[in-house]
Structure 1
Amino acid sequence: MNAPALSSAKLVSGSIPGHLFSQTLPAVIGVAAIMSIGIVDAYFISQLGSAPLAAISFIFPVAVASTSLGVGVMVGINSVVARALGEGDFERAARRANFGIVFAVLCGLVMGLALWLLIDPIFTAMNAPPALMPLIRAYMTPYACGFPLSLAIMGFNGVLRGQGEAKRTSTVSITYAAANWVLNPILIMGGFGFEGFGIAGSAYATVIGWGIGVLTALVLLRGTSLPLNLSLLRNCSLIDPAKAIIRVGLPAAFSNAINPLGLAILTSLVALESEAAVAGFGAAGRLQSFVIVPLLGLSGAIGAIVGQNWGAGRYDRAREAALYAAGFCVVWGLLIALGMMAAGESFAKVFTDDPAVIAEFALYLKIAAWGYAGFGLLIVGNGIMNAVDKAGFALVQSVARVFLVMLPVALVLQPSMGSAAIYTAELAANLFGAVSAVVLVRHIFVRHSPAWVPR
């Protein structure tokens, strides 16, 4: 069964820039679609009053942390499938793909059960007011029960990404997002004679959206060379695929969770300055989340390209992909930084008319925007390291970035610089991330001394 593998590993031949474009553009669209869900959620929940909005503020970091663990599973599946296809071992790729989907669902069941059992302890530890706990329970109960569907999507998308099926992966994200757009207003606010479920309606919309996403992914996967076929798991050792996925997925999960943790700590430090600083920091962060979407899309796309070529021994093509991706990060990051510098206050006025908030918004952009290129190099570097089974390097880098650079810089400079120290700390962390990513990725490539075979 090795013959189909050569045609399945479609990223080991052809133009590297072409592959980067064809894999990144759908990923960008998918990331934007998923991000839009949070905006729609926040808008309709805000219509319910301040208490539901406050409840969602407590729920958000828990949802981000749990999703980060799921993304780690997806990254692990992507990595092992891409490398097996590149190696020409179609049977192993098929076994790992099918095991990965089952493994993702099992992880979802365990995580969902844990979330459900620990609703009160988690949010009590977060100092959620007792008055908000009924609202939090109303959201988290259906969310936790439906969480295995979210991990199922991660499993399917990991298999699709590993094959280089970026358009299909994006279609899953868009379908899930579209379901949320339609269902959120109806299930939260009501309509057509239906009263709505309030904050719980947002969770119901999310779970139904996950279900629709799973069905979409299942159909799309059938059209690839690695469809769902659980019979492949009979009479074979499951230890090898489990170890391979966990070796990449576990460090990747923690790497993904560390960045939101660092942001939460920075926010708490900004809160020591002033309410205007918090508002400006938060508003600038929302704008930033949109301008870095192409970088996020690229970081998701690079794994399949590097992974397949690495598995095929085409280290020259893997390096070429890394260089093109790095170049894009630098160019895009600097262009965006220049734009932010030139129009910072104009952007701020879209969010607020408070002069103090506008000043903080503009100050943040003048300092932190110069780190966008570095952030791009960081996350693309992480994607490359995960793809070549060096997720431990990415984890160490992420830990060092937050705890050895970001927090010390903020704490040392804050007494003299105020809120500017926090923004400088973010810049320093992203520059460190860029340099460390370049050094680590170069080290990985140099160690393999690639043979420069002709294309």
Structure 2
Amino acid sequence: MASAVSARSLVNDPIPRTLWQMTWPVIIGVLTLISFNVVDTFFVGMLGTDPLAAVSFTFPVTFTVVSLAIGLGIGTSAVLARKRGAGREEHARFDGTIALVASALLVASLSVVGLLLMDPIFAALQAQERLLPLIHDYMYIWFAGATLLVIPMVGNAVLRSSGDTRTPSLIMASGGLLNAIFDPILIFGLGPVPALGVQGAALASLISWTIGTVLVLWYLKYKDLISLKVPQDAHPLRSARQILAIGMPAAGANMLTPLAMAVLTAIIAGYGAPAVAAFGVGTRLESLASVIILALSMSLPPLISQNFGAMQFQRVKDAYTTALRAVIVLQLGIYLLLLVTAPYIAMVFTDDPEVARLIRLFIYIMPLGYGMQGVIILTNSSFNAMHAPMSALWLSIVRLFVMFVPLSYIGSLLADMTGLFIGGVVANFITAMLAWYWFRRFLQKEWAQDVQNSQQEAV
């Protein structure tokens, strides 16, 4: 199913309508996928506090791999969209194939390293000794199938580069649905299927990734969006370098998030397994609460990139501003909803009074900063869309390791977990203001340079 949004409409049609047309299918896909990830946490939580804490310890590690895949998707979309906009369709098809192969090889390599260094990694995260067998059960299967995670993600980026935002959303939604179906069957057992516990949660993910890989590869070939035919002036290594030139800094920026989360997890581990379990639930809820941010971070870049390439800088500014206003208002509404439902959410995820208390504490404080976090994320994605990945990388470094981790740690020293959460919110507010200023300055510089070039050409 092709998107109703064409490349022509991206540079001509009204910004709010165009952005909405591109974003709503992505919202549905991301919401469905993340909802079932929350369901995954719910089922693991039914096994007890230790299994929930064990899986929570894996989040920084698994998200590192996911962040690499997201970054590679960003590089893929940026390079392919630019070539399709220039009418170089044959090159775009070949580069799509290279992107899939290169991404699979990189994630496979990272997974091997993860398997070899599993014990030192989780020791550094301060995982308790009794949790290590559960962590091993989960991560051996997860790492073994990680390559099948990245292929659908990069394949979806190839689809978005062609202007199709609906099909990637359907693929994401179907993957989440399959995972939610397989989760209870494999975790608790059904008929001849034995109860596999946390292994079952990992295996459910692996099965859904496998089906997603088959579907996306078939659809890409069916739509003639990938090809092994090498264009006359193309080379596989050159194509890979173009994608990685944007993809690796973008991946680096994304991978800083789980690194920061790993540091926070190590800090929180000092408060015991209930604190780690609650933080794990909180981060999953954060993903669900940030669905609009995530959707806009996928739909905004093609709009920014097309207009930036067409030198329509006012439309770039308008698109960025429209997205920021929407995300701030909507996230405030989501915060109020979470505030009201916090006690019920905690009851759904755990019977442990201490875990429930900490989940409520997380909900009362952390979502207050999600709107500002959205400003930062959308600024990052806009920088990548304008082929300025190093600006996005530096913004991520400042946000996480100059602001978020230090202020959260200082807060924990002053007021334990309450202070840690407040420190994170303050960090998001400060960094959001910096991100807004940084983007406007960058755009004004490019705008002025274009005016200067036009004047020189006129002379």
Residue 304 of structure 2 is matched in structure 1 by 306
Aligned: 1:181 with 2:180 = yes
Counterpart mapping for 1:202-351 below 5 A: 202-222=201-221, 224=223, 227-232=225-230, 236-269=234-267, 285-339=283-337
TM-score normalized by the length of structure 2: 0.84
How far residue 398 of structure 1 moved from its aligned partner, in angstroms, is: 1.3
What is the rounded CA distance, in whole Å, between the counterparts of 1:48 and 1:436 in structure 2?
Answer: 43
Structure 1 CA distance for aligned equivalents of residues 215 and 35 of structure 2: 19
CA–CA distance in structure 2, aligned partners of residues 347 and 166 of structure 1 = 31
Is the CA contact (8 Å cut-off) linking 1:109 and 1:147 kept in structure 2?
Answer: yes
The separation in 2 between residues aligned to 1:59 and 1:135, in whole angstroms, is 10
Alignment of structure 1 residues 3-82 onto 2, 5 Å = 11-48=10-47, 52-82=51-81
> Which deviates more, 375-384 or 349-358?
349-358
| 2:166 aligned residue | 167
Q: Which residue of 2 is the match for residue 3 of structure 1?
A: none
Secondary structure of 2:194's counterpart equals coil
The Cα shift of 1:416 comes to 4.2
- The reply to whether residue 93 of structure 1 matches residue 92 of structure 2 is yes
Equivalent residue for 1:139?
138
Partner in structure 1 of residue 378 of structure 2: 380
Aligned partner letter, 1:327:
R
Query: Contact 1:305/1:321 (CA < 8 Å) preserved in 2?
Result: yes
Counterpart code for 1:406: F
Give the letter aligned to residue 113 of structure 2.
Answer: A
Who is 2:155 aligned against? 156
Specify the alignment match of 1:392 in structure 2. 390
Structure-1 residue corresponding to 2:457:
none
Alignment of 1:107 with 2:124, yes or no, is no
Residue identity opposite 1:253 in structure 2: A
Q: Is the 8 A contact 2:404 2:423 kept in 1?
A: yes
Aligned length: 447
In structure 1, list runs of 5 or more residues that go unmatched. Answer: 1-5
Percent sequence identity over aligned pairs? 32
1:220 is matched by which residue type in structure 2? Y
User: Do 2:73 and 2:247's aligned partners in 1 also have CA atoms closer than 8 Å?
Assistant: yes
> Which one of 442, 445, 459 corresponds to residue 444 of structure 1?
442
Aligned residue identity for 1:78: S
Provide the rounded CA distance (Å) in 1 between the counterparts of 2:339 and 2:140: 44
Higher alpha-carbon deviation: 380-389 or 369-378: 369-378
Any idea what SS the aligned residue of 1:232 has? Answer: coil
Aligned-partner SS, 1:230: coil
- Write the distance in 2 (CA, Å) between the matches of 1:160 and 1:280: 37
CA RMSD, 1 decimal: 3.4
- Whole-angstrom distance in 1 between the partners of 2:410 and 2:71: 33
Task: Please give the secondary structure, in 2, of the residue aligned with 1:439.
Answer: helix
Which residue matches 2:399? 401
From the superposition, tell whether residues 196 and 228 of structure 1 become closer, same or farther in structure 2 (CA, over 3 Å). farther
Moved more, 81-90 or 117-126: 117-126
Deviations 1:381-438 (A, max 9, x none): 1110111111111111111112222233344454444444323311221112211221
Alignment gaps of 5+ in structure 2: 455-459
Moved more, 372-381 or 11-20: 11-20
Whole-Å Cα distance in 1 between the matches of residues 136 and 361 of structure 2?
39
Distance 1:196 1:10, change over 3 A: farther
C-alpha distance in 2, partners of 1:189/1:359?
27
Q: 1:357 to 1:154 in 2, by over 3 A?
A: closer
CA-CA distance at 1:368 after TM superposition: 4.0
Do the aligned residues in 1 keep the contact of 2:11 with 2:303 (CA within 8 Å)?
yes
Alignment of 1:430 with 2:428, yes or no, is yes
Distance 2:118 2:356 in 1: 37
Q: Quick one: distance in 2 between partners of 1:337 and 1:197?
A: 36
Q: Take 2:423 and 2:154, find their aligned partners in 1: how far apart are those partners? A: 35
Contact 2:408–2:420 (CA under 8 A) maintained in structure 1: yes
CA shift, 1:334, in A, is 3.2
3-state secondary structure, aligned to 1:191: coil
Q: Is the 8 A contact 1:75 1:252 kept in 2?
A: yes
Mapped partners of 1:411, 1:183: distance in 2: 38
